[in-house]
Structures are given as structure tokens and as C-alpha cells.
Chains A and B, each alone.
Chain A
């Protein structure tokens, strides 16, 4: 792959002597302990379509929120069209010609398209003249950019693709020269994606600059001139799109890291413990997020699911754990059909679940550590047999488990929020595997966990496997999957796109993670 390249890439085709549309110079931003943006240097040429890729949490949205005035950078400058600007609000961002189309549309569903476009840009006390003006402008924009939408339609009645066009119209109506689109294709059908790309190219043709934030690499390939990759708050590479490949981008996104050596013997797979058959999940808007997934996990093996975050892995885990219910398909645990059971029934049948987001789902941070040890096990007869909880028994169990799992400090009465990430994860681990479940689903077991704890957690998972348990592991860390899993499944856009052994090359896995296999990959590479 191409080496990381921090310097601005060659000007995009057709760029003239115009100054760069946007320059980030040494942008740095922290949220408490999280370093969301580290010393970002990035140049976006005027009149180009620039892709910004990276996994969830890589810092893309933070960077764009700084540009749009939602956050203030701790350090660094932003230059727009060569001039240093100090953007403190979205109004100022609009004033310098920046328009943003958010992932969650900022539209009033009950108003018409025209009213939405006017909102905040009425320009006069009476609405009628503004509406007349806007109607004319909309008609012209629609013709110029292929952005046709019925100006009098109620926004709530429009399709998602049309709503997105309204968002783009809003920014153009306010005179945006630089458009930022945050995950624009996340909710679009393939035909709508095509239409969007047509619009973006028309915009570029009129000299406008477009920034597309996404984690879908195929689309980056299809529409951008240049692409920058972010990882852990840093820009790790910027490539001209035509000189790069989807695999190279996938690799840059996931990153090469020191492979943590995990000692493990060969697996001895037994009977199928967890079986997923033709599982499909549609979200509330009807978008398919898990698409006809079938997989099996046998006793005594770890099956890893690799994939760029946001491709349906999280939803798959939630469906298996009973937190969401499948639209179609079946899930079996041992001989029992668990497709329609609720989380506590599934847990009682012996499926443990370490959720990928411990703060949002796995823990109640305001609780004490021992209370979190009880979460999901609040019916356990060890402490819930009587009218009142047996706090003595809980304390006793907590002390034993915390010693066993090396939770530091081993204080069951301490508020969970005060533990480090690694120790919080150990509390969850003690809770979920302390009781020796039949099968375990694990999401991002070592996210935000220090090296020492990573090793301990990995050893626990291997020990559990060797004890004959079935483990399904989802992780965004490819290295983690390769070192732990006995089989790897790759997931992309809700589908299982391939299976391989853990010693497969990174390039091969990267290809499958990008949803490209065989012939299609060769096309994209050319």
C-alpha cells in the first residue's frame, strides 16, 4: 500500500489557481480523556469532491463539527478559500459559504419543501415575497443540479432520497460553495445513491467543493477525486482516489498494528451451539441492516466477524441476544429456538452477551460495581430468593469474582464510573462468563482498554473456548479477530461476504470486508 502521506495531494483534475477551499492547520480537540482530533492537517482543493473515511469514532464527525461551528478546536486554524476564519456558530459557517447535510436530517416533517428551504432564511417580515423568490430559485437549482423536488410537497411524505435533496437545496439556497455530506448514503437505496452521485458531479461541474464523510469505501471510489483516511483522531493518509484501491483504504482505516500474540492451541469444535439461519433485520425506516445472514458457532470454537464498524454487526448481535427481534429467519441456541424470546429468557438458556458499548448498554455507570455484577442477573437465587436482596451474598460474590478477574481496585462498593475502561470491562466479563455460559457473544471486547487488560481479556476468552464454549466475536480490530478466532466471517452492508481462516492475508480479508470478492474486486482496482 501507499505510505501515509500527510502533505496535500496533487491538485484535483480541473482545479485552477484557486486557493484551497478548506485547510485544517494543526486542529486538535479533546473531550475529557478522549483525544478526538490530533493535530489534523488537511487540505481540500476547491472544486474537488473529497472523501473522508474512517471507522465510527475515528474523529470525522468531530472534525466537521469544528468546521461547522458546533465545537471549538482546542488548537489550530481553519482557512476557508485561503483566509483564516473563526467559526463559532453554524450561522457563521453558512456566511463563509459552508453548508452541511447531516446524517440525521434537520427538516420539519410537517412543513412543505418550500417552507423548509426558507426556514431561517426568510429575509423579510412577510413570508409571501420570500416564498415567491425562493420558488424561482428552487426551480433554477432543480434544473441546474438535477435536484427536482415538488416545492409544495409535505416533507414527511417524501422518500428519504428526496428529503436529502431538500437538505442539499437548503444549503444551496443559502449560497453554500462548500458542501459537507455526513454519511449521505447510509439510508439510500442503490438507485437513490446513483442519483445523489449525479447531483454531486453536477455541483462539482459548477465549481462547488464537496466533502463526503463515509465509511463505505466503494462509494468513495465511485465519486471522489481525493480521499483522506482518519483513524483514532488522526489523518493517517491522503490519496488521489484514482491511485488507490479499496483494499488499500480498508487497510489504512483498520490500521496495521502490532499483532498481539495470544497463546492458543488448535480448536476442537464440537456440536453446533449457536445457529443463525437466513436472519434479516429491517430498521424502523424499513432499511435492511442485517441481510440474510446464516452462520454456525460450534462448542469449543471462536468465530470472528470482521468488518468495518457500522455494517450490521452490532444489530446482528442485538438480534441474537433478543434485544431486537428479527424480521425473518431463525436463531437456535443448542436445540432451542430463541428467535422470539426476550433477553432474560435467552440469558437463562445459557447465552451470555458482552455488548460492544459498555457505557450505553453493558453498565449503569452510576451504580456501584457490585450492582453492575447483578445487572441481568437480578433474578439470581443467590441474592434474589427472599423479599429483600441479600446484599451480603452479593458482596461476597463480588469480592470473589473481582479477585478472580483481577478488577482493580477490588472495591465492590465503588461507583462504576470511577473504574478505568479495562476494569469496567473486567466487571462485565466477571458477570457474563463467571457463571460459565453455554455460548457467548462478544462485541469489541477490548475497545478503550489498556494493553495489560487486553491480554487478560484475551486469555479469558481462549480459556472459555478451551472449556468447550461457543463464542461469537465481533471486533473492529482486525488483529484481535485474527489472533483470537478459529474462523473468520466478513460482514459488509449487512451481509456475510466471505469466510476465511485466521491466517489469511490482510489483503484478502480487507477485500471481503469491503464487500468485494473475486472479479468485482479486480474491477474496482482498475
Chain B
């Protein structure tokens, strides 16, 4: 019975188990593709080619991954404090509001002047949206899973009201703000790379991909190299020991959620300032929820989060290509494949661990016991 808790070699724990989960997810996906009468190997080839086979595809893959890195880091930080933040979607939505307000205020100013304010506003609005559930959890014991889910709905409703009644462009029928002036938009990387002969096509990759990597470094430092990170991990691992050590778990929960919300909020800069150039409804498009899978698969470690965000970027971009090339494999089919990856890599993460544990327990003792 103690087998699942056994210590596994780091290589097994960090590489082999996730790979096994991923392999099974793809195997089952392959069976589904087979069932609708297509060749799974061909499907995989199309997906990989679509996501990684040419510069424009890579651009799209990295653009998707950028958003997932932010939401994945957001969920991961909360995990370290023992919190399950389901509210990335709503926090990113509010982050978008912050970005739009800044960009509309300074509309026409050069992007490099506006960007710092946009980043700050995104983080601030995302954190503010996380604050209420965090405070309720810390001081009133309301479960953060429930409250953050409710706040996702509140964010969506708030956005509809704002975009219909308050922020909509006068005379426009669509629920969105006016488009930012070209000077205020984040530049596309394709513009920088074109002179070097790299054609990213129409891919919307923008400088936020670098901010995402910086955020990953920041999270690593915060969690493993600061006093607050230490306190946060203590609260997440053993709240009783935290109280013994003179840490107030409530304060830690609140600050951890503020950081988590801020990271989710930053995701909006990529979308609103970098791609859509206006605030519109549902621009987060599920990235908040994908962040949960990314954090689970990445073991809440920034390196893992970056890698699994890249994987989900491949799935999104490759999936889009696949449904384009194989009309019988619809967009919904891609959702199924993504769901299987989430199921095996996230929800069933521990399914193969006992088997690996037994395997390694045996090899450690030398030979199988009779």
C-alpha cells in the first residue's frame, strides 16, 4: 500500500511518468481517429507538420504557448500554496480590461511607452479579481475552487455589460472597444524577422513570448529562492507546520493568489495588445482552463510549465491544421484529443506511478522476489 508514495528516481518522476501518460493519451487518441476511419499516423504527421514544419506554423504554436505559459504559471503558483485556482479564465479577462483601459487612454502613443503600463494594469486587474476569492478563503473558509469558478462567470457577465453599455465604440453594433492605433499595438515578431529571411507568415507571435519566459524565471525565483516562496510551500505542504513556524497561512494564501491572479492577467497583454488590438468578448478562449492542465502536466515547475505549454501550443496549432486538411476530423475531434491529454497527463497523473514504483523497487533490490 505504500508503493505509490515511494521515492522514485528523479528521472522517472519527471520524465518517464509524464511521457508514459502522454503516450497513452496519444494511443487512445489514435484509436479514436481510427474509429472515424482516418489513418492515425497520417493525422499525427499532419499535426506535427502543421505545428512545427514551417516558420508560420511555429509562430502560431509559440503564440498559443505564450498564453498557456502565463495561465500555467498562475495555476502552478497557487498549487504551491495548496490552492486550486480555477479562476485564471476570469482573472485573464479582467487583465484584458486593464490592458484595454491603458491602451485606450494612451491611444496613439508608441507601444514601448504604453507596454509597461499595460503590463502593470494587466497584473493589477488580474490580482484584484483574485483578491476576493483569496480573502474569502483565507478569512472565511469559503472554498477557493467554488469562488474562483463563480468569479469566472462574474467576469464574463461584467465584460458583456462593459462592452455593450460602457466601452463599446459609439455607433458600433458589436460588443467590443475601438481598435487601438497601429503605433500603440505590440509589434509582430514577423516584422523583425522578415529582414533575416525568416517568414513567420501571418502568425501573431509578439514580444510577449519573451515576457512569458521572464515570468517563468520570476516564478522559479519566487518559489524556490525567496522567503515568501518558502512560506508558501510550507503552507501548501503542511499547514500545521506552517503555524508552528510562525507563518500566518491566511496571509500567505492571499498573497499567493494575488501573484497567481497577476500572472493570469498578463496573459491578456498577449491577446489584447498583441493580437486583437481591441477588447472583445471571450478573448481568453479557454486558455485559463488549459493552464490547469499545463500546470498539472508540468508538475508546477516553471520548466515543466514551459514545456507542457509548448506541447499544448502544438496541439492547438497542429489540431487547427488537421481539421483543415481532413474535413472528417472536425474541430471537435481536436478538443477530444486535447481532453485525452488532459485526462491522462493531469487527472490520471498517478495512474502509472505505482507500476513504475514497483518496477524500480524491484530493480533496486537486485532481483524480483519470489
Contacts and interface: CB of A to CB of B under 8 A. Distances in A.
Contact of A321 (B1, B226, B244): B244
B286 to A, nearest CB: 32
B360 to A, nearest CB: 15
Interface in B218-237: 221, 225-227, 230-231, 233-234, 237
A343 B245 CA distance: 7
Interface in A364-393: 364-367, 371, 374-376, 378-379, 384, 387-389, 391
B230 A378 contact: yes
Contacts of B240: 360-361
Contacts of B231: 378
B13 to A, nearest CB: 12
B238 interface: yes
A469 interface: no
Contacts of B1: 31-32
A389 B225 contact: yes
Contacts of A322: 246
Nearest to B235: A364
A395 interface: no
A376 B244 contact: yes
Interface residues of B, number: 21
Contacts, number: 71
Contact of B230 (A344, A361, A371): A371
Contact of B244 (A362, A387, A417): A362
B241 A364 contact: yes
Nearest to B222: A388
Interface residues of A, number: 34
B2 interface: yes
Contacts of B246: 322, 342-345, 347, 376
A339 to B, nearest CB: 16
A353 interface: yes
Classify the secondary structure of B's interface with A: helix
A366 B237 contact: yes
Contacts of B225: 388-389, 391
A391 B220 CA distance: 14
A524 interface: no
A378 B227 CA distance: 6
Given A343-B246, A347-B246, A375 B241 contact: yes
Contact of B241 (A362, A387, A388): A362
Contact of A374 (B2, B7, B230): B230
A322 B245 CA distance: 10
A379 B226 CA distance: 11
A323 interface: yes
A107 interface: no
B19 interface: no
A367 B234 CA distance: 8
Contacts of B238: 360-361, 363-366
Interface in B1-39: 1-2, 7
A54 interface: no
B336 interface: no
Contact of B221 (A345, A362, A388): A388
Given A364-B237, A364-B238, A384 B227 contact: yes
B226 A388 contact: yes
A364 B244 contact: no
Nearest to B2: A32
Contacts of B248: 342
Contacts of B347: none
Contact of A379 (B221, B227, B234, B241): B227
Contacts of B45: none
Nearest to B245: A376
B7 A415 contact: yes
A354 to B, nearest CB: 10
- Which of A32, A362, A375 neighbours the largest number of chain B CB atoms within 10 Å of its CB? A375
B158 interface: no
A363 B241 contact: yes
A389 B230 contact: yes
Contact of B245 (A360, A375, A387, A389): A375
Contacts of B244: 321, 323, 343, 353, 355, 361-362, 375-376
B166 interface: no
A389 B226 contact: yes
A334 B215 CA distance: 48
A364 B233 CA distance: 9
Nearest to A343: B246
A418 interface: yes
A323 B241 contact: no
B359 interface: no
B243 interface: yes
B153 to A, nearest CB: 28
A344 B226 CA distance: 18
Nearest to A391: B225
A464 B316 CA distance: 64
Contacts of A415: 7
B74 to A, nearest CB: 22
Contacts of B233: 364, 367
A362 B240 CA distance: 9
A32 B247 CA distance: 32
Most chain A C-beta atoms within 10 Å of own C-beta, residue among B227, B234, B240, B245: B245
A324 to B, nearest CB: 9
A526 B225 CA distance: 66
Interface in A328-346: 342-345
A409 to B, nearest CB: 14
A129 to B, nearest CB: 38
Given A342-B246, A345-B246, A376-B246, A389 B241 contact: no
Contacts of A362: 241, 244
A256 B41 CA distance: 72
A379 B221 CA distance: 17
Contacts of A353: 244
A272 B65 CA distance: 64
Interface in B241-265: 241, 243-248
Contacts of B221: 388
Interface in A288-337: 321-323
Contacts of A388: 221, 225-226
A39 to B, nearest CB: 21
A387 B231 CA distance: 14
Which of B2, B221, B244, B248 has the most chain A CB atoms closer than 10 A to its own CB? B244
A31 B1 CA distance: 8
Interface of A: 31-32, 321-323, 342-345, 347, 353, 355, 360-367, 371, 374-376, 378-379, 384, 387-389, 391, 415, 417-418
16 contacts: A323-B243, A343-B244, A355-B244, A360-B238, A361-B241, A364-B238, A365-B237, A365-B238, A367-B233, A371-B230, A374-B230, A375-B245, A378-B245, A384-B227, A388-B226, A389-B225
The 8 closest A-B pairs by CB, nearest first: A344-B246, A376-B245, A343-B246, A388-B225, A364-B238, A361-B244, A364-B237, A375-B245
